[in-house]
């Protein structure tokens, strides 16, 4: 009773305040025609040991010098990267990182395997990228921020996922971060969310800003709506998918040119920011309920084998309550061709079954982690493999 009354009081405050609320309309809602859909064509199961849970926070497909495809993933509990043969699902090896000592990496929260002895690791507590070898020894440490107390107002934080990975372009790696705070007009053009690291000399510069028409002087508190999902296009540009935008933002690497192009869903409705005057004092319960109620876009992935893009959408639950989470939302996959022309979309199921944050493309199709309700002991890492089907 006390919890419910507490929440009702918050709702009263929430509904009685008014700030510069943004409504991002979907101009093509209900007007798009589907010619393709996705269908499950295969399944891959990888046996896990007793110390490895499902929903690993980060993965990378890595092809070794002999041409073998290795599925690598992070075991946060063991602070380790596990290597499995993708084709036969067999365990190969693991790289373990110490949490103490001269080679300490307190918490591995993402990585990029350039070669067996050049693994770039994101050390979350230190907000740094550490260059390591396959034995877990640290060769170099690259800080991504200053030590001033207010650094989160000026430098991004990084919530890396399989669908928000390190991206290598030539001799540089791009690490896409975000702000967990709402942005004001005074700092939105100065806050850049991507760190670009030169692998030859470890020099860093920061690039790309949030669309001010959506994120300036508006309450998008709590980090869900400010997550940025990058994708490398076949012509070498970075595409950014923002949760609150039906559009995509195509950024040319060597210039300041940014092109906005439609990349939305046929069923997504207008997306609203939080109607609460004090962003940094917005109750967490209200943030969560609000985002569960809203349609929110996720990652965009390019399929080089089929020359198409996939973009995820977490569909809103208009009457969502405090008991619900983002995993209760239905997941759609939008399909677009290389020109970002809409081809169709498929509803998978809820986030309780489909962990879309662990998605990647192989020759076989779009791999998405699937949580089997019958696998209560989490004995297997399961991927459903989806392929295109033309509608008759």
**pLDDT tens figures, 120-163:** 999 999 999 999 999 999 999 999 999 999 999 999 999 999 99
More confident residue, 187 or 164: 164
- Sheet strands side by side (includes 118-123): 108-115, 118-123, 128-132, 138-143
pLDDT band at 392 (very low <50, low <70, confident <90, very high): confident
Determine if the pTM surpasses 0.75: yes
pLDDT band at 375 (very low <50, low <70, confident <90, very high): confident
Give pLDDT, residue 247: 98
Mean of pLDDT over the chain: 93
Q: What is the percent of the chain where pLDDT is above 90?
A: 89
Give pLDDT, residue 9: 36
What are residue 285's phi and psi, to 5 degrees? -60, -40
**Quick count: other Cβ atoms within 10 Å of Cβ 235?**
8
The mean per-residue pLDDT over the stretch 40-58 comes to: 95
Give pLDDT, residue 374: 87
Q: Considering only 11-15, 87-91, 123-127, 310-314, which range has the smallest mean pLDDT?
A: 11-15
Residue 383 to residues 191, 236, 249, 322, 346: CA-CA distances in angstroms?
A: 37, 29, 29, 30, 17
**pLDDT tens figures, 300-326:** 999 999 999 999 999 999 999 999 999
**pLDDT tens figures, 226-284:** 999 999 999 999 999 999 999 999 999 887 789 999 999 999 999 999 999 899 899 99
**Quick count: other Cβ atoms within 10 Å of Cβ 150?**
8
Give pLDDT, residue 116: 87
Spatial separation of the C-alpha atoms in residues 352 and 371, rounded to whole Å: 7
3-state secondary structure string, the chain?
Answer: CHHHHHHHHHHHHHHHCCCCCCEECCCCCCCCCCCEEEEEEEEEEEECCCCCCCCCCCEEEEECCCCCEEEEEEECCCCEEEEEECCCCCEEEEEECCCCCCCCCCCEEEEEEEECCEEEEEEHHHCEEEEECCCCCEEEEEECCCCCCCHHHCCCECCCECCECCEEECCEEEEECECCCCECCCCCCCCCCEEEEECCCCCEEEECCCCHHHHECCCCCCCCCCCCEEEECCCCCEEEECCCCCEEEEECCCCCCEEEEECCCCCCCCEECCCCCCHHHCCHHHHHHHHHHCCEEEEEEEECCCCEEEEEEECCCCCCCCCCCHHHCEEEEEEEECCCCEEEEEEEEECCCEEEEEEEEECCEEEEEECCCCCCCCCEEEEEEEEEEECC
Q: Identify the sign of the CA torsion 48, 51, 56, 61.
A: negative
**pLDDT tens figures, 111-127:** 999 998 999 999 999 99
pLDDT band at 19 (very low <50, low <70, confident <90, very high): low
Beta carbons within 8 Å of 4's beta carbon, 6+ residues apart: none
Q: What residues form DSSP beta bridges with 157?
A: 178
Give pLDDT, residue 274: 96
pLDDT band at 15 (very low <50, low <70, confident <90, very high): very low
The mean per-residue pLDDT over the stretch 29-45 comes to: 98
pLDDT band at 13 (very low <50, low <70, confident <90, very high): very low
The mean per-residue pLDDT over the stretch 1-5 comes to: 36
pLDDT band at 291 (very low <50, low <70, confident <90, very high): very high
pLDDT band at 5 (very low <50, low <70, confident <90, very high): very low
Q: What is the percent of the chain where pLDDT is above 70?
A: 95
pLDDT(70) > 90: yes
Give pLDDT, residue 81: 98
pLDDT(7) > 70: no
pLDDT(348) > 50: yes
Is the CB of residue 79 less than 8 Å from the CB of residue 108? Answer: yes
Spatial separation of the C-alpha atoms in residues 298 and 311, rounded to whole Å: 7
Give pLDDT, residue 198: 97
Give pLDDT, residue 234: 96
pLDDT(1) > 70: no
């Amino acid at each position: 009773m006390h919890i419910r009354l507490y929440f009702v009081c918050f709702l009263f405050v929430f509904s009685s305040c008014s700030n510069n609320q943004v409504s991002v309309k979907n101009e093509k809602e209900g007007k798009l025609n589907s010619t393709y859909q996705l269908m499950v064509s295969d399944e891959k199961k990888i046996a896990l040991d007793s110390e490895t849970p499902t929903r690993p926070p980060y993965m990378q497909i890595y092809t070794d010098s002999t041409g073998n495809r290795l599925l690598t993933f992070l075991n946060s509990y063991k602070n380790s990267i596990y290597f499995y043969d993708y084709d036969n699902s067999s365990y190969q090896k693991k790289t373990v990182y110490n949490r103490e000592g001269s080679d300490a990496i307190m918490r591995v929260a993402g990585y990029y395997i350039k070669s067996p002895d050049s693994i770039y690791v994101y050390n979350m507590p230190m907000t740094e990228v550490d260059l390591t070898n396959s034995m877990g020894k640290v060769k170099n440490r690259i800080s991504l921020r200053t030590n001033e107390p207010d650094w989160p107002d000026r430098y991004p934080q990084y919530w890396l996922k399989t669908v928000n990975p390190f991206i290598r372009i030539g001799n540089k790696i791009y690490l896409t971060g975000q702000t967990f705070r709402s942005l004001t007009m005074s700092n939105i053009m100065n806050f850049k969310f991507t760190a670009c690291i030169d692998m030859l000399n470890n020099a860093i510069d920061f690039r790309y800003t949030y669309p001010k028409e959506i994120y300036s002087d508006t309450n998008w508190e709590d980090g869900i709506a400010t997550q940025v999902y990058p994708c490398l296009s076949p012509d070498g540009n970075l595409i950014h998918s923002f949760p609150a935008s039906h559009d995509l933002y195509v950024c040319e690497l060597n210039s300041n040119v940014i092109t906005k192009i439609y990349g939305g869903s046929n069923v997504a409705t207008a997306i609203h920011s939080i109607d609460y005057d004090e962003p940094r004092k917005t109750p967490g319960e209200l943030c969560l309920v609000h985002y569960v109620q809203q349609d929110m876009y996720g990652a965009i992935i390019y399929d080089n084998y089929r020359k198409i893009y996939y973009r995820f959408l977490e569909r809103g639950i208009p009457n969502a309550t405090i008991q619900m989470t983002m995993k209760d939302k239905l997941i759609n996959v939008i399909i677009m061709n290389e020109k970002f022309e809409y081809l169709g979309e498929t509803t998978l199921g809820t986030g309780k079954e489909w962990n879309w944050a662990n998605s990647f493309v192989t020759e076989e199709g779009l791999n998405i982690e699937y949580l089997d309700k019958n696998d209560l002991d989490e004995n297997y890492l399961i991927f459903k493999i989806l392929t295109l089907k033309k509608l008759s």
